[in-house]
Structure 1
């Protein structure tokens, strides 16, 4: 599936991933291939995705996610280093 992460300043990531783990307002949740359509708000927390067997983590400062037709669109308020 395709993951696209966008902030008001820039496009942070656009690529093929196998799984995305997100910080929801009511707790962490995962998106896998063929997930049902979804729109949800995000809390501040770690967004993790697996790409080619390698896991990457970003710290997002809230936002919105839309899932449709194996595309995950994350509109984040800001993306910081995961260690921040």
Structure 2
């Protein structure tokens, strides 16, 4: 899936990912390719990005917004 994580003034991470786990208001949720469209708020916590090569990247956030559509997943923090 195409994933972009951005602040208002810069891109923090952009590329192809296997999955991303996010701290939602109802708990941690994992987004995979072909996830249903979704818009939700994010709480303080950690984004866990599973990369295409099997690696894991972590990004701490205070809060944010997640949008999943058929073309990409965007996280604004």
TM-score normalised by structure 1 residue count: 0.87
Structure 2: which 5+ runs fail to align? none
SS in 2 for 1:18: strand
How far did 1:70 drift? 4.4
Q: Which residue pairs with 1:69 in the alignment?
A: 70
- The 8 Å contact of residues 63 and 75 in structure 1, kept in 2 or not, is answered as yes
1:35 and 1:5 mapped to 2: Cα distance? Answer: 17
Q: Which aligned segments of 4 or more residues in structure 1 are displaced greater than 6 angstroms?
A: none
Aligned residues: 76
Q: Which residue pairs with 2:7 in the alignment?
A: 7
Q: How does 1:35-46 map to 2 (within 5 A)?
A: 35-46=35-46
How far did 1:9 drift? 2.5
Structure 1: which 5+ runs fail to align? 77-84
1:34 and 1:70 mapped to 2: Cα distance? Answer: 9
2:62 and 2:10 mapped to 1: Cα distance? Answer: 14
- CA deviation vs aligned residue, 1:19-68 (integer Å, no higher than 9, x gap): 10000011100000100000000000010011110011110110100000
2:73 and 2:7 mapped to 1: Cα distance? Answer: 14
